[in-house]
Structure formats: structure tokens, C-alpha cells
Amino acid sequence: MDEIREDMKKKQQKIEALENEEGSQEEIDKLKREQGSLETQHQKARSAYEGSVQVVEDTSALEEDIQVLDVRKRLMLQKKKKKTRAKPSKQ
């Protein structure tokens, strides 16, 4: 993403320089199209990055939930074992 931002910055500087020098409108338009394409690439890269971050966060949350459920399950099994041991057998 940093490379794309740097390229966008360079294109903007070239555009401004051409506009100040009253350069070729065709060249200015070409650079603006290229800059627009870079902006699209940057947005896609940012979305992909944010998506991957969200996946990591979701995975972490799910892992924590699983751990909590495992602990609860073990505690329930321990309680159940204690109850069955505490009941006197009828014979």
C-alpha cells in the first residue's frame, strides 16, 4: 500500500507541475487516469488488508469462545461426577 501511495503522490506532483507549466492537456489527462487507477488499487489493497485483520480478530474471538466452552464443559462433567459419587447406592 505504501508503494501505491508513493506512486499516487508522484503522479499528483507531475500533474501539478504540468498544470503550472501549462503542459499538454493530453498528458495531464493521462496522468489523472493513471492516478485514478492507483487510487482504485489502493482501495482494493486497503480493503483486503482490513478484511484480513477482521479475519484474525474473528478467529481470536472464536478461539476464546471455544476455550470458555471447554472450561464450562469440564466443570459440568466434574459436577456431574461429584453428584453421582455423593448419591448412596440403593441395594
- How high does pLDDT run on average in the chain? 90
Predicted confidence at residue 1, as pLDDT, reads 78
Q: Which of 65, 85, 63 is closest to 73 using CA atoms?
A: 65
What are the helix (H) ranges across the chain? 2-20, 25-86
Please identify which residue in the block is written with the cell numbers 489523472. 32
Confidence of residue 88 (pLDDT cuts 50, 70, 90): low
Helix (H, G, I), strand (E, B) or coil at 65: helix
Give the predicted TM-score (pTM) of the model. 0.58
Write down the pLDDT at residue 69.
96
55-78 tens-digit pLDDT: 999 999 999 999 999 999 999 999
